[in-house]
Structure 1
């Protein structure tokens, strides 16, 4: 399986963002930048995140610390959503087996 890569400089040029913003995201651990043969690349799979972060930064004037905090809150919410889904599935199983009839 080959991972699709996007050249950072081309992406930044087309989206009108500074390459230094990509550096900030990488330094903050929010994205991964790969370097191959002297060229820097973004993973195609992380483009939605980069776009979300760039809207926060450029359109909403949220600094990197704010973006990092929002990122962690959204990760936590997603984890809680998955846990809630799992617990509801377990409850359905118990109800079918007659164990949790009163719930």
Structure 2
């Protein structure tokens, strides 16, 4: 199944991505080890899902442009995830208040 997804261009070769974006493959390794992204391996080549690209780009800007270390990136990731969760909860609560005519 993984091979089919790779052939359908849902994945990008990590070495090619790193060359094109001028980032170190070890940076991708650090993100993977931190649990911030998922990487697949097939046939001796490592692949990154296209769905992970926005996050990798965001993390690389933090790391390379802002000099934020991996621990800082991990903390920011968790804080942003928590904020998104809280925003969804606020939206849900506002909807419930509207149903009761209190908002």
The answer for unaligned runs of 5 or more in structure 2 is none
2:31 paired residue number = 25
Structure 1, unmatched stretches of 5+, are none
| Equivalent residue pairs, number | 97
TM-score between both structures, scaled by the size of structure 1: 0.90
Q: Once the two structures are superposed, what CA deviation does each residue of 1:25-70 show, in whole Å capped at 9, x if it has no partner?
A: 0000000000111110001011000000000000000000000000
Q: Do the aligned residues in 1 keep the contact of 2:5 with 2:11 (CA within 8 Å)? A: no
1:71 pairs with one of 57, 77, 86: 77
Quote the residue 2:95 is aligned against: 89
Greater C-alpha radius of gyration? 1
Q: Distance in 2 between matches of 1:89 and 1:46?
A: 31
Match for residue 41 of structure 2 among 26, 32, 35 = 35
Q: Which runs of 4+ in 1 moved over 3 A?
A: none
Quick check: 1:55 aligned with 2:61?
yes
The normalised TM-score by structure 2 is 0.90
| Aligned mates of 2:98, 2:42 — CA distance in 1 | 49
